[in-house]
Amino acid sequence: MYKTKVRGVIIEGNKSYGQITRDILAPIDGKTPRWWFITMGIGTLMMLAGMVAIVNTIATGIGTWGLNNSVAWGWGIINFVWWIGIGHAGTAFSIFLLILRQKWRTSINRAAEAMTVFAVICAGLFPALHMGRIWLAFFIFPYPNTRGPLWVNFNSPLFWDVVAISTYFMASATFWYIGMLPDLATIRDKATNKVKKAIYGFFAFGWVGKATSWLRFETTVLILGGLAAPLVIAVHSIVSMDFATSVMAGWHTTVFPPYFVVGAIFSGFAMVLTLMIIIRKVYKYQDYVTDGHLDAIARILTFISLIMGTAYATEIFIAWYSAMEGEMYTFFHNRIAGDHTAAFWTMVTCNVFFPQLFWFKKIRSNIWAVFVISIIINIGMWFERYVIIITSLTKDYLPANWAPYAPSITEVGIFVGTLGIFVIGVLLFLRFVPMMAMSELKGVLKDTMPAKKKAGKTPDDPENKTL
Amino acid sequence: MSKAKNYIVGIFDDHDKLLNGVEATKNEGYKISDVISPYPIHEVIESLNLKTRIPVLALLYGIFAVLVTFGFLYWTSVVDYPLRFGGKPQNTLSFVVVIFVMTINITSAFTIVTFFLREKKGPGAKAHVIDEGLGDDKYAIILDEEEEKTAQQEEYLKQIGAIRIVHDKQK
């Protein structure tokens, strides 16, 4: 049922099984390095800033944000869509590659899934705060109430959002955790410290690694992956429908769902790349996150970037082709030229032009260039959401309603706070959880051993080339 | 409570020895109770002829989820508190979105619960660890102990490459 042929070497350095365990557990067994505390300090400060901003928002109200009657969605929704986009590719990465039986996912999926979980937590904060009276947030759930019972509107994309994002959070968090059980059990077995043994033992859920367990484990993971794959697509399609089902110029288009899904995967892949380069550099995991891995992700990004370019061009073409004045104005006089030119061209440059540099092997193999471009992509994706939300809302159909928008310090504070939460989450993950799936790495080791370890094969066998 | 059973466990340190060992032991006629490995080995699962019904259950959960979600939407929007807005039908096609997502939600949740129930695992569950290397780079073949032939079984496991023999008792 699960047999697949694997191409090439995925783990370099002729590792033995024991060596993999030692390598991956080294950061957990070792002392906490100094940079960890420093980064943790910075992250905590950022989170505290965010908490001040959140308390300010809840105590005073949404009036503390820079919103007005015309621009009712500002940084709150921009950052919500940005985070949920980042949260998407983590799981998209590990799940799509799982279903496509791409074994090179093994050294990256754990970190990608962790990133997903933290990003979705950050994303979920924004709509909750945006409701204004957060203490009445439970109104959005369909429960028998004393107001009729008046049920929620099951045909509203805003309600779909609630269902989809909470489902997505549950699914990606459990998928991540179940995948971790065998590795937590390994830590439990190897631990010499009693407290550590007890804690990891508690979280390992009694895993032993019997053949029957492995069969059920793999089946369950595959089912969860199969279910989560359409979910990933559904969640961002639904987010796009928050926009597309309205009649605002620049929002009311059918291209939105695929455009948003691809955009989400784009920013998520970029974030995975950023994170994996940091992990590789800091923990010296070149043998696991090989040049081949980075090369593969860079190639995928080039392709997705072309899709993004096509989506942008389609929007502009349809605005012109529909001959609808409002659409024409939004695209040609408010984005390409006009008040928001800078944001629009930042978006295009970062998302469409910069990733094209990956066509050159020299750039793909330069780790610093790859790192910088991966960050540029996420900046570009932030500007994409800015362009979509702010250009359409500041200048809608009635010029009398036109209003400028600038974020208040509170809005910026909440964004900084979510960055802090993300940093803290990633740091805790790096310190206390095996950041690569050891059991999966061991599972692919045998089939991907370099040529000289396999009998009867020569080193220059084309089957043994990296990836 | 069932009576404790005796097992003879052969610990191996090589992937290939384990694979050949499992195959040979089966042919020799000893009953393999289970195999422990630090990562999934599909050849072992196949040669022990293990099967799982979790996929069938997941399908049933999915069908159940579709019915329950549609029933709930229909009941709330058509029966319990019908609202007509914009001349649109109360039982609408756009229910599909919520049904789709809730099917994934319910099926995933139920499948996970099934997995843990079937495996008898959960937060804080005690693990019966036979050898501490089994999560790292060691493998184990567990045989049901046959009273008269214990020594013979031990000898056989050693012969197929076990690095040591452990006696184990389990309920």
To the nearest whole Å, the CA of A420 is away from the closest chain B CA by 29
pLDDT tens, residue by residue, B131-151? 777 878 888 888 777 777 777
Residues B58 and B86 in one domain: yes
Whether the per-residue pLDDT at A291 is higher than 90: the answer is no
- What mean pLDDT do residues B22-46 have? 81
Is residue B99 within 8 angstroms of chain A, CB to CB? Answer: no
pLDDT tens, residue by residue, A238-277? 999 999 988 888 898 889 999 999 999 899 889 988 988 9
Testing the interface with B: which of A5, A24, A155 to mutate, by most B Cβ within 10 A? A155
Contacts of A211 in chain B (CB under 8 A): 34-37, 41, 44-45, 48, 50
Q: Which pair of structure tokens corresponds to residue A237?
A: 């399609």
Share of chain B above pLDDT 70, in %: 97
Residues B64 and B96 in one domain: yes
Whether the per-residue pLDDT at A99 is higher than 70: the answer is yes
Helix (H, G, I), strand (E, B) or coil at A415: helix
Residues B107 and B62 in one domain: yes
Q: Which range of residues forms the domain containing residue B102?
A: 54-119
Rounded CA-CA distance A57/A61 in Å is 5
Residue A2's pLDDT band, with cuts at 50, 70 and 90, is very low
Is residue B124 one of the residues assigned to a domain?
Answer: no
Contacts of B104 in chain A (CB under 8 A): 167, 171, 227-228, 230-231, 234
Is residue B119 within 8 angstroms of chain A, CB to CB? Answer: yes
| Subunit contact B52:A219, Cβ cutoff 8 A | yes
Whether the per-residue pLDDT at A358 is higher than 70: the answer is yes
Domain count, chain B: 2
Residues B115 and B68 in one domain: yes
pLDDT tens, residue by residue, A323-357? 888 888 888 888 898 888 999 999 999 999 999 99
Residues B115 and B142 in one domain: no
- What mean pLDDT do residues B155-159 have? 77
Rounded CA-CA distance A157/A163 in Å is 10
Is residue B23 one of the residues assigned to a domain?
Answer: yes
CATH of residue B165: 3.30.70.120
Residues B69 and B100 in one domain: yes
Residues B45 and B63 in one domain: no
Residues B93 and B109 in one domain: yes
pLDDT at A464: 43
pLDDT at A450: 52
Closest CA to B129 of A188, A217, A22, A202: A188
Name residues whose C-beta falls within 8 Å of residue A71's C-beta, 6 or more positions apart in sequence.
A390, A393, A394, A403, A405
Average pLDDT, chain A: 85
Contacts of B50 in chain A (CB under 8 A): 211-212, 215
Among A126-130, A138-142, A345-349, B103-107, the least confident range: A138-142
pLDDT at B28: 76
Contact between residue A390 and residue A71 where contact means Cβ atoms under 8 Å apart: yes
Which H or E run includes B132? none
pLDDT tens, residue by residue, A401-443? 888 898 999 999 999 999 999 999 999 998 888 888 888 888 7
| Subunit contact A163:B15, Cβ cutoff 8 A | no
- What mean pLDDT do residues A437-453 have? 69
Testing the interface with A: which of B88, B104, B111, B166 to mutate, by most A Cβ within 10 A? B104
Residues B41 and B86 in one domain: no
Shortest CA distance from B45: residue in chain A? A211
| Subunit contact A209:B95, Cβ cutoff 8 A | no
Is residue B127 one of the residues assigned to a domain?
Answer: no
pLDDT tens, residue by residue, A198-231? 888 888 888 888 888 888 898 998 898 888 888 9
Residue A456's pLDDT band, with cuts at 50, 70 and 90, is very low
User: Helix A109-130 crosses helix A34-60 at what angle (to 10 degrees)?
Assistant: 20
| Subunit contact A190:B54, Cβ cutoff 8 A | no
Contacts of A201 in chain B (CB under 8 A): 124, 127
Share of chain A above pLDDT 70, in %: 93
The residue to which tokens 């019915």 are assigned = B67
Testing the interface with B: which of A25, A160, A174, A189 to mutate, by most B Cβ within 10 A? A189
